């Protein structure tokens, strides 16, 4: 095969993976919204709804330890397909048995499925992409991901949260993703028999990437949970803030490729620091912008959300620059774990701080989180020499 043919095949695989993760994200974005509405309609206690919601990120964190081992043993393609089927099984069980306590277990499996698919597709993309293009490729990938997240809630809303229709629609996304993986399976790195690298062994090697994933996890969950209330306190209507959250997602969709391109051109470290510091500045001006004109608020949210998400785009490219094979899979798993942990711990901590100090705790907490990320990126991303993860056999 000529170099041009090989390059064209690689780009086809890259766009296919990005499209599939976008379709997968439709189900991931729509399911929590659907379940929250259905549980509320059943009159389920808020405590049960909260426990049910917490099971999804717990499953996501658990997948970080299970999936690298499973991919090494059975192959990443099989794990990608199995993750889709596990997600479909969880959806089907919730559709057929509308019992809130069963849904708690089903959402744990659902989180495991989501984490499994994310871990292998990020590793596929990082392994397939040449270093000089990795930033812009992950920018395209995260754009598809954000578009899927935004479409999921919209679709279940358009279906008026009618459970049979919504469950069927979201389940179909899992099936389509599994079929898509099978169609391009010969072009995908399989990681079968590559050996194992411990997930926790990645922590000291990629601190900035892990903190970027955790920081955006906190930003994402906290903004969805608390920005509407923050706007209401400052005299901005719920309707305006609801559209504002959609605008924030649109910024994630449209601005990630330019951020990725910038990291290819000027380096991962300065772009990571720049995105983190712009997010810090955004947190500082949020109390003034929130009460300004609606167009200015929407423009601010468009850029602010993209800067926060851009740290993750750069982080994904950076681990692809340094690692391959089993080490890459473990780093991808560690980032998934960090994102889940950041979402749970960050939003919970900000909620507690708001109870104690008021709504100003939201921007101040985000300022501190992303300022810490900028400092860690400045100190830990100086060089790009790969470091080996310790062999799994020596860490038992």
Burial class from Cβ neighbours inside 10 Å (0-12, 13-18, 19+) for residue 221 reads buried
pLDDT in the model for residue 368: 96
Q: Is residue 112 within 8 Å of residue 59, measured between CB atoms?
A: yes
**Tens-digit pLDDT string for the chain (396 aa):** 555 666 677 778 888 889 999 999 999 888 887 887 788 788 877 667 767 777 888 888 899 899 988 988 899 999 999 999 999 999 999 999 888 888 889 999 999 999 999 999 988 988 888 777 889 899 999 899 988 888 888 888 788 777 788 899 999 999 999 999 999 888 888 787 666 667 777 788 899 999 999 999 899 888 877 888 888 888 888 778 878 888 888 888 899 999 999 999 999 999 999 999 999 999 999 999 988 888 999 999 999 999 999 999 999 999 988 888 888 888 989 998 998 888 888 878 888 888 888 888 999 999 999 999 999 999 987 654 444 444 433 333
Alpha-carbon Rg for the chain, nearest whole angstrom, is 20
Angle made by CA atoms 195, 211, 287, in degrees to the nearest 5: 155
d(CA 65, CA 206): 17
Q: Is residue 310 within 8 Å of residue 370, measured between CB atoms?
A: no
Picking from 24, 20, 50, 23, the residue whose alpha carbon sits closest to that of residue 35 is: 50
pTM higher than 0.75 for the full model?
Answer: yes
Tell me, rounded to whole angstroms, the distance of Cα 154 from its chain centroid.
Answer: 18
pLDDT in the model for residue 248: 87
pLDDT in the model for residue 7: 67
pLDDT in the model for residue 109: 93
d(CA 78, CA 192): 10
pLDDT in the model for residue 2: 54
Picking from 308, 268, 269, the residue whose alpha carbon sits closest to that of residue 286 is: 308
Question: Can you give the length of the chain in residues?
Answer: 396
pLDDT in the model for residue 80: 94
pLDDT in the model for residue 384: 46
Q: Which run of H or E residues covers position 309? A: helix 294-322
pLDDT in the model for residue 179: 95
d(CA 314, CA 275): 9
| Span between the terminal Cα atoms of the chain, in Å | 43
Q: Is residue 152 within 8 Å of residue 26, measured between CB atoms?
A: yes
d(CA 216, CA 383): 23
* Structural domains of the chain in order of their starting residue, each with its CATH number: 10-193 (1.20.1250.20), 197-389 (1.20.1250.20)
């Amino acid at each position: 095969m000529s170099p041009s043919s090989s390059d064209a095949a690689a780009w086809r695989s890259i766009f296919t993976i990005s499209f599939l993760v976008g379709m997968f994200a439709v189900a991931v974005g729509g399911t929590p919204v659907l379940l929250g509405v259905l549980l509320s309609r059943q009159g389920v206690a808020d405590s049960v709804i909260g426990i049910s919601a917490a099971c999804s990120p717990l499953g996501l964190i658990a997948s970080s330890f299970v999936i690298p081992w499973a991919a090494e043993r059975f192959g990443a393609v099989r794990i990608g397909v199995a993750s889709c089927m596990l997600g479909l099984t969880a959806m089907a069980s919730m559709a057929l048995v509308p019992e809130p306590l069963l849904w708690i277990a089903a959402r744990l499996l659902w989180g495991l499925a989501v984490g499994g698919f994310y871990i292998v597709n990020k590793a596929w993309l990082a392994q397939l992409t040449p270093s000089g293009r990795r930033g812009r490729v992950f920018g395209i990938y995260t754009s598809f991901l954000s578009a899927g997240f935004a479409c999921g809630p919209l679709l279940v809303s358009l279906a008026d949260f009618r459970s049979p229709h919504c469950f069927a629609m979201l389940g179909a996304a899992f099936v389509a993703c599994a079929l898509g993986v099978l169609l391009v399976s010969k072009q995908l790195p399989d990681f079968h028999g590559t050996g194992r690298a411990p997930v926790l062994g990645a922590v000291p090697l990629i601190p900035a990437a892990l903190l970027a994933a955790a920081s955006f996890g906190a930003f994402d969950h906290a903004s969805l949970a608390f920005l509407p209330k923050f706007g209401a306190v400052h005299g901005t209507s719920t309707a305006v803030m609801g559209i504002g959250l959609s605008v924030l997602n649109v910024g994630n969709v449209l601005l990630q490729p330019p951020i990725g391109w910038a990291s290819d051109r000027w380096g991962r470290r300065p772009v990571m620091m720049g995105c983190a510091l712009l997010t810090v500045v955004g947190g500082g001006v949020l109390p003034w912008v929130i009460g300004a004109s609606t167009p200015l608020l929407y423009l601010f949210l468009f850029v602010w959300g993209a800067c926060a998400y851009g740290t993750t785009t750069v982080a994904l490219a950076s681990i692809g620059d340094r690692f391959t094979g089993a080490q890459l899979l473990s780093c991808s798993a560690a980032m998934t774990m960090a994102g889940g942990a950041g979402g749970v711990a960050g939003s919970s901590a900000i909620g507690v701080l708001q109870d104690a100090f008021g709504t100003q705790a939201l921007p101040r907490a985000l300022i501190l989180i992303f300022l810490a990320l900028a400092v860690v990126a400045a100190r830990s991303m100086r060089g790009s020499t790969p470091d080996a993860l310790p062999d799994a056999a020596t860490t038992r």
